[in-house]
Chains A and B, each alone.
Chain A
Amino acid sequence: MIVPMTRVRILGPREQFESTIAAVQDFGKMHLADASPHAGVTPARLDARTERRRRYLLRLVDDIDEARRALRAPPSAAAPTRKRGPTPAELARWARLARRTREAAVALRERETSLQEERALLDRYREFLAAVLPAVRKVKDSPRLTSHAVVVPGSARAALAPLAAALRAELGAEFTMTTHALAGGDVAVLLVLPREFSAHLEERLAGARVPEVPLPAPFRDLPLDEAVPRMLVRLGAIPPELGEVAGERARLLAERGGELARARAAIGDWLAIATAHERGHVTAHAFAIDGWVPEPAFDELAAGIARASGPTVVVESVAREEWGAEDAPVALSNPRLFRPFEAMIALLPLPRYGSIDPTPFVAVFFPLIFGMILGDAGYGVVLAVVALTLHHRSQPGSMLRVVTEVAGPCAAFAIIFGVLYGEYFGDAARRAFGIPALLVDREQAVLAMLAAAVALGVVHVVLGLVLGAISMARREPRAAIGRGISAVMVVLVVAALLAAFDFLPARLFTPSVIGLLIAFPVLVFAEGLIAPVELLATFGNILSYARIMAIGTASVMLAVVANQMVGAVGSAAVGLMFALLFHLVNFAIGLFSPAIHTLRLHYVEFFGKFYSPGGTPYHPFRHGNGAAGLQPREVSR
Chain B
Amino acid sequence: MINMWIAIAAAAAIGITAIATAWAQARIGAAAAASLAEKPELTGTAIILVAIPETMVILGFVVAVLLILRAGG
Q: Which residues of A contact B (CB under 8 A)?
A: 347-348, 446-447, 450, 540, 543-544, 546-547, 549-551, 553, 596-597, 599-600, 603-604
Contacts and interface: CB of A to CB of B under 8 A. Distances in A.
A600 B52 contact: yes
Contact of B45 (A348, A550, A551, A553): A348
A550 B48 contact: no
Interface string B39-52: 00001110110011
A348 B45 CA distance: 7
A600 B61 CA distance: 18
A599 B51 CA distance: 9
Given A543-B59, A549-B62, A597 B54 contact: yes
B44 A547 contact: no
Interface of B: 43-45, 47-48, 51-52, 54-55, 58-59, 61-62, 65-66, 69
A31 to B, nearest CB: 20
Nearest to B55: A544
Contacts of B66: 447
Nearest to A549: B62
A546 B48 CA distance: 17
B23 to A, nearest CB: 19
B61 to A, nearest CB: 5
Contacts of A597: 51, 54
A401 B45 CA distance: 24
Given A596-B47, A597-B54, 6 more contacts: A347-B44, A447-B66, A450-B65, A547-B54, A547-B55, A596-B51
Contacts of B55: 540, 544, 547
Given A347-B43, A544-B55, A547-B54, A600 B65 contact: no
Contacts of B47: 347, 596, 599-600, 603
A544 B59 CA distance: 8
Nearest to A541: B55
Contacts of A599: 47, 51
Given A348-B44, A600-B52, A603-B47, A447 B58 contact: no
Contact of A603 (B48, B58, B61, B65): B48
Contacts of B58: 544, 546-547, 550-551
Given A347-B44, A348-B45, A450 B51 contact: no
Nearest to B42: A347
B63 to A, nearest CB: 10
Nearest to B43: A347
Contacts of B59: 543, 546
Contacts of B45: 348
Contacts of A603: 44, 47-48
6 contacts: A546-B58, A547-B54, A550-B62, A551-B58, A553-B65, A604-B48
A537 B48 CA distance: 16
Interface centre among A547, A551, A597 (most CB of B within 10 A): A547
A600 B48 contact: yes
A544 B31 CA distance: 24
B32 to A, nearest CB: 13
Q: Which 3 A-B pairs have the closest CB atoms?
A: A347-B44, A600-B51, A348-B44
Contacts of B65: 446-447, 450, 553
A547 B60 CA distance: 11
Contacts of A549: 62
Nearest to A605: B55
A366 to B, nearest CB: 14
B50 to A, nearest CB: 8
Of the candidates B43, B52, B62, the one having the most CB atoms from chain A within 10 angstroms of its own CB is B62
A549 B54 CA distance: 14
B44 A546 contact: no
Most buried by B among A546, A549, A596, A599: A546
A599 B44 CA distance: 9
A69 to B, nearest CB: 20
A543 B59 CA distance: 8
Contacts of B43: 347
Nearest to B46: A347
B44 A446 contact: no
Nearest to B48: A603
Contacts of B62: 450, 546, 549-550
A369 to B, nearest CB: 14
Contacts of A553: 65
A550 B52 contact: no
B52 A604 contact: yes
Contacts of B51: 596-597, 599-600, 604
A348 B58 CA distance: 25
Given A547-B55, A549-B62, A550-B62, A446 B69 contact: yes
B66 to A, nearest CB: 8
A577 B61 CA distance: 31
Contacts of B44: 347-348, 603
Nearest to B57: A550
A544 B66 CA distance: 16
Nearest to B62: A546
A476 B48 CA distance: 27
B11 to A, nearest CB: 16
A484 B62 CA distance: 30
A600 B49 CA distance: 9
A446 B48 CA distance: 27
A599 B50 CA distance: 12
Nearest to A597: B51
A447 B62 CA distance: 9
Nearest to B63: A546
Contacts of B69: 446-447
B14 to A, nearest CB: 10
A141 to B, nearest CB: 57
Nearest to A450: B62
A596 B47 CA distance: 8
B71 to A, nearest CB: 13
Nearest to B68: A446
B4 to A, nearest CB: 22
A15 to B, nearest CB: 43
Contacts of B48: 600, 603-604
